[in-house]
Structure 1
């Protein structure tokens, strides 16, 4: 069940972010992954290495302001950090034992979308329905002649 929920959260993140127009969508996602890089700081499961990880993800997020690829890399790095925390028993949400595992499943969904260039899923769905409606209108015109 945790896998399905985590994937659905990743898909929901993509859909909601699809409502943001470019170039703001890419910049917003760079800021989001930069924040994700600091998510484990308060837990301190890996001591000073937590700061090093935050620095690496901050660099990727900064480069992500202009590149979807860097944002995708940052989400995959965060996935690895989630796995490490899950295995150590130091979850991202202290009272939710499997929260890091869920995050490790969710993050690659977001990364794949980023590697695809962060396209607007809502625009694609809207375009598909519009084309379908246009075809229906055209078919009705032919039938009514």
Structure 2
């Protein structure tokens, strides 16, 4: 289910036109940094992680790569919380584990340029250029 949630997130983002889509995603990944503050088990490190994702999110205003990096950082934070037993949703024991499965889906989409589903489909369907065919001289 977490992978499906990531795919739904990507699909819904396709409805947002650029450059608003990139800006929105920069804000969302920044906010994800604060997800564990109220119940996190790492004390002041929760605040340090939040600051880190603010910096990454700010860079993400102009770079999907930075947004993808932010989601991978959040994945690592999810894994740490899962192992410590301090889930993102306290009443759902494996919620951090689920988040750690969802976040890389979003990160991969960001590393692909945050394209809409339609544009991503067209890019994948476009035949690759044949680089082995010699170009005629003249």
Band of TM-score, shorter chain: 0.7 to 0.9
Question: How high is the TM-score relative to the length of structure 1?
Answer: 0.82
Structure 1 unaligned runs (5+)? 129-145
Cα RMSD of the aligned pairs, angstroms, is 1.3
Shift of 1:6: 0.5
Higher helix share: 1
The runs of at least 4 aligned residues of structure 1 exceeding 3 Å deviation read: 122-125
Which of 33, 37, 50 is the equivalent residue of 1:37?
Answer: 33
Q: Which has the larger radius of gyration?
A: 1
Q: Give the direction of change, closer, same or farther, for the CA distance of 1:88–1:118 in structure 2 (3 Å limit).
A: same
Q: Which residue is equivalent to 2:62?
A: 66
Q: Which residue is equivalent to 2:129?
A: none
| 1:81 aligned onto 2:77 | yes
Structure 2 unaligned runs (5+)? 124-138
Q: Which residue is equivalent to 1:48?
A: 44
